[in-house]
Structure 1
Amino acid sequence: MVSNQSLLDRSHHSVWHPCTQMKQHETLPLVPIRSGHGVWLEDFEGKRYLDGVSSWWVNLFGHNNSRIKDAIRQQLDQLEHVILAGFTHQPVVELSEKLSSLTGLGHSFYASDGASATEIALKMSFHYWRNIGKPEKTQFISLQNGYHGETLGSLSVTDVALFKDTYANLLRGSIALPSPDWRLAETGETPEQYALRCASAAEAHIAAHHTEIAAFILEPLIQCATGMAMYHPAYLVRIRDICNRYEIHLITDEIAVGFGRTGTMFAVEQAAIKPDFICLSKGITGGYLPLSVVQTTDEIYAAFYDDNVARGFLHSHSYTGNALACSAALATLAIFEQDDVLNINRSKAAYLNQRLQVLDELPISHLRNTGMIWAFEVQTDNPGFQKSFYQAALQRGLLLRPVANTVYFMPPYVISEDEMDWMVMQTVEILHKETT
């Protein structure tokens, strides 16, 4: 019979867990999960945990969602997977068509995770310039405090020292431009003014180096992994114009912020721009199966369309366009359409914003919200705050993973008002104990 302790022991002896110093689990036990339903996870002893981070930002419509499960089951009876080189299938075609109707971009190239999507977009941009006779355009620029994954190419355009410094000798050099994160604005400067000032700084660099730059990659509206840094959409409007004028591709990494997280289906919609590449993953399947997509323009696609095989994009993954994952993604998109999700989310966001006013009495700063993401900084001198808050939340049945002293909420969209009330109440009680 499986128990919490038996699974803990077996996992510790056989699994190398991600983003983890494994030695910490000598004193910070893993959490064995037996099942999930809605926003709740349950361990083998019946203790429940509210999934306040959507299981690393992937789960949109709750655990054990019957509609997504039914779509996967139906597809499983027809076709689980087939090589996508030389073959095709109905779910991948329908999903590609659906995504194109939503983004306005053309062909879709598939992989299994967000970092791979970043790699694909970078390689496509580099190869495009080579194919059209501008091989000198090989450099990439990104934002300070940006995160795009941890494979070597994606890590090269990531600006998180903890992840990057160890592997510095393996990485391509890249330039990180000032982040438009409005917390960095000067006193009296509005988020929009600061965003435009950062865009001007970006233009100065681009103007001097544009003949060598292939693409500018950024996370639109929210830089998630470094503390939910939020910024004004005016930055995106200005950068789109700059990239157009200096012939530089704009790659928008919507891996974490796509599919409704910012309040619109895709964050770029709030700036009314269209990127040259968009990277999608995480919520695309509702959190049920691994899948990522890079979409690009017909113009870029056409530059690879040639009799010469070497001019084609020869990148590949064994599970590219997996039929089961595509069926989960189609079911996820159907829920958006059928349930009026974006409008319902706006009501839920308004409710939680009102409930979070109780935090005003606590030592926090920069309480902020975009769509279905909330964050604030806790004023504390405790260097172990991140770990102690996480542990205290787990003890209360709440899964939250602070980034340093930034506490954030990114729950599944199916969270109810009662569940939001409970999440806020637990957070307030934890903060009272952690800051007094």
Structure 2
Amino acid sequence: MKAGFQSIASPEGQADALDVRRSWHPFTQMQEYCSLPRVQIASGEGCWLTDVDGKRYLDANASIWTNVHGHQDADLNNAIIEQLGKVAHSTYLGLGHEPGSLLADKLCELTGLDRVFYSDNGSNAVEIALKLSFQYFQLTGQPQRRRVIALSNAYHGDTFGTMSLGDCGVFHQRFDPWKFPVERIPAPTCEEFGGEVFSSDMEESLAALDAHFANFGDEVAAVILEPWVQGAGGMLMQPRGYLAEVQRRCREKGVHLILDEVFVGFGRCGPMLVGESEGVTPDFYCLAKGLTAGYLPLAATVSREEIYQAFLGEFGEYKAFFHGHTFTGNPLGCVVALKSIEKLETLIHTGQLADTIEAFNEFYRELRAELPESFSMRQRGLASALDLPAGDASLRRGMHFCIALREAGVLLRALGDSLLIVPPLVISRDEINFLKSALLDTLRCKAYL
């Protein structure tokens, strides 16, 4: 044992001390983080998390938009425990296993597509779709198809290919010299909350897409978008029907359509998958986050048989897709994904998820009635944002508000001055009411009301 090593199980406060001394958190200015009150999570149950001091918090951001059925769900736990009694991991490089095959079949059933390539996070799922599209066109005699069209305010991840696709300002600007060029079209707009659409416009976006197709003809390989809600872009809503119009144009031009449903997939906005609910079958689905209900890192890129067939040939032709991850198709991730999908199908078919979404719609209607017009809001299903009144962004008001909200027993994460409210899909009406009271009380304490 190294000199000076102390176990995490040592006296209270040790985890926080080690966190400050050793950790480097994502999307976090560590100087700021270390100077502010911190929370060390010890356990979770249902929609609640408990810290090392025993304080409980409503997990109102679903552990960064991943949690579906709550923490410590007995069915999901048992699925993992049963698989642990068999094998925790077996490589998918040249070997298969039952959980991976069963999940691939289920994902094909859900998407209407034919082949599944596993990875371990949403960024990689998108990278894979992009590389598959580029290589497909090389293999089919169309190497000039190298352009990609993406939306303004897009976020697809933080690897280099996905940073190129993104349009998130300071998130990725520092790496601009290493990014490849992407054609950009304005995102369509939709004002929606409380189950009601107040305005929407897709014409400008579609006109820009048409112009790019006219200008670049057969040079475009793919169009990629986040359907219905651009999450990291600020919970920006998209008009229903937009997907079908984009798909029609892509089909006419022989261009691949990539749907990044890493955030909205698996019930977040109501349907199992947004594309399927709109009658759209893309060339690629990118899935992660809710795929394993927030339990384990697993992602999937689902594609059409025609694309898969183009990669087949003799070994010496080097048509194979040279891409992989050590934990591709991890059996534990696959079994928990299968069990989560089974439970989610029940939530959808029984109407329980629809009832929860209606309760969340009511929550936003009530917030609108309580808050001044200086607060803006956006919501579809269980994806939403509440914006603090306009002010000096350098004051970090959103972050400080979320820290104050912890005292009321709620965990949120802000994006600038936007409070992103994304609870687990099984949040109850009582918990939604608790969330509303905590928000309003904290707004009053912070003198916003």
1:286 partner letter: A
Q: In the alignment, is the contact (CA less than 8 A) between 1:109 and 1:293 conserved in 2? A: yes
* 2:383 corresponds to: 373
The Cα shift of 1:416 comes to 1.1
* 1:137 corresponds to: 145
| 2:411 counterpart of 1:399 | yes
The Cα shift of 1:52 comes to 0.3
Rounded Cα–Cα distance in structure 2 between residues aligned with 1:102 and 1:359: 35
1:248 partner letter: V
The Cα shift of 1:112 comes to 0.4
Q: 2:68 aligns with which of 42, 45, 60?
A: 60
| 2:296 counterpart of 1:289 | yes
1:234 partner letter: G
Q: In the alignment, is the contact (CA less than 8 A) between 1:114 and 1:279 conserved in 2? A: yes
TM-score by length of 2: 0.92
Rounded Cα–Cα distance in structure 2 between residues aligned with 1:392 and 1:382: 18
SS at match of 2:41: coil
Rounded Cα–Cα distance in structure 1 between residues aligned with 2:134 and 2:46: 42
| 2:192 counterpart of 1:174 | no
TM-score by length of 1: 0.95
| 2:290 counterpart of 1:278 | no
Q: How many residues align?
A: 431
CA displacement, residues 63-120 of structure 1 (integer Å, 9 cap, x when unaligned): 1111011000101111111111221000000000011111100110000001111110
The Cα shift of 1:183 comes to 5.0
The Cα shift of 1:23 comes to 0.6
Q: In the alignment, is the contact (CA less than 8 A) between 1:183 and 1:366 conserved in 2? A: no
Structure 1 window deviating more from structure 2 (244-253 vs 341-350): it is 341-350
Identity of aligned residues (%): 35
* 2:275 corresponds to: 268
* 2:56 corresponds to: 48
Q: In the alignment, is the contact (CA less than 8 A) between 1:140 and 1:216 conserved in 2? A: yes
SS at match of 1:211: helix
2:390 partner letter: T
Rounded Cα–Cα distance in structure 2 between residues aligned with 1:124 and 1:4: 49
Rounded Cα–Cα distance in structure 2 between residues aligned with 1:77 and 1:307: 39
* 2:161 corresponds to: 153
Q: In the alignment, is the contact (CA less than 8 A) between 1:281 and 1:291 conserved in 2? A: yes
CA displacement, residues 187-217 of structure 1 (integer Å, 9 cap, x when unaligned): xx9744x113311221111221132211111
Structure 1 window deviating more from structure 2 (406-415 vs 258-267): it is 406-415
Q: In the alignment, is the contact (CA less than 8 A) between 1:124 and 1:313 conserved in 2? A: yes
| 2:223 counterpart of 1:216 | yes
SS at match of 2:13: helix
Q: 1:164 aligns with which of 169, 172, 175?
A: 172
Rounded Cα–Cα distance in structure 1 between residues aligned with 2:272 and 2:407: 34
The Cα shift of 1:3 comes to 5.5
1:221 partner letter: W
2:426 partner letter: V
The Cα shift of 1:341 comes to 6.2
| 2:111 counterpart of 1:89 | no
SS at match of 1:182: strand
Q: How does 1:199-278 map to 2 (within 5 A)?
A: 199-278=206-285
The Cα shift of 1:253 comes to 0.2
* 2:319 corresponds to: 311
| 2:274 counterpart of 1:300 | no
| 2:79 counterpart of 1:71 | yes
Rounded Cα–Cα distance in structure 1 between residues aligned with 2:191 and 2:31: 34
CA displacement, residues 259-287 of structure 1 (integer Å, 9 cap, x when unaligned): 01111001113321110000000011111
Rounded Cα–Cα distance in structure 2 between residues aligned with 1:305 and 1:391: 54
The Cα shift of 1:226 comes to 1.5
Rounded Cα–Cα distance in structure 2 between residues aligned with 1:206 and 1:243: 9
User: 1:391 and 1:132, CA in 2 relative to 1: closer, same or farther beyond 3 A?
Assistant: same
Q: How does 1:324-339 map to 2 (within 5 A)?
A: 324-339=332-347
Rounded Cα–Cα distance in structure 1 between residues aligned with 2:12 and 2:239: 45
Q: In the alignment, is the contact (CA less than 8 A) between 2:191 and 2:198 conserved in 1? A: no
Q: Structure 2: where are the runs of 5+ without partners?
A: 1-8
User: 1:3 and 1:239, CA in 2 relative to 1: closer, same or farther beyond 3 A?
Assistant: farther
| 2:31 counterpart of 1:23 | yes
Q: 2:422 aligns with which of 396, 400, 410?
A: 410
The Cα shift of 1:400 comes to 1.0
Rounded Cα–Cα distance in structure 2 between residues aligned with 1:83 and 1:134: 33
Structure 1 window deviating more from structure 2 (350-359 vs 410-419): it is 350-359
CA displacement, residues 224-254 of structure 1 (integer Å, 9 cap, x when unaligned): 0011000112211111011111111100000
Rounded Cα–Cα distance in structure 1 between residues aligned with 2:44 and 2:18: 21
SS at match of 1:19: coil
CA displacement, residues 297-332 of structure 1 (integer Å, 9 cap, x when unaligned): 111111111124511111111111011110110110
SS at match of 1:63: coil
* 2:398 corresponds to: 386
SS at match of 1:402: strand
The Cα shift of 1:374 comes to 2.4
2:37 partner letter: P
1:385 partner letter: R
Rounded Cα–Cα distance in structure 1 between residues aligned with 2:187 and 2:12: 43
Q: In the alignment, is the contact (CA less than 8 A) between 1:362 and 1:431 conserved in 2? A: no
Q: In the alignment, is the contact (CA less than 8 A) between 2:376 and 2:388 conserved in 1? A: no
* 1:422 corresponds to: 434
User: 1:279 and 1:342, CA in 2 relative to 1: closer, same or farther beyond 3 A?
Assistant: farther
The Cα shift of 1:382 comes to 4.4
CA displacement, residues 132-157 of structure 1 (integer Å, 9 cap, x when unaligned): 00001112111000100000011110
CA displacement, residues 4-26 of structure 1 (integer Å, 9 cap, x when unaligned): 53211101111111111111123
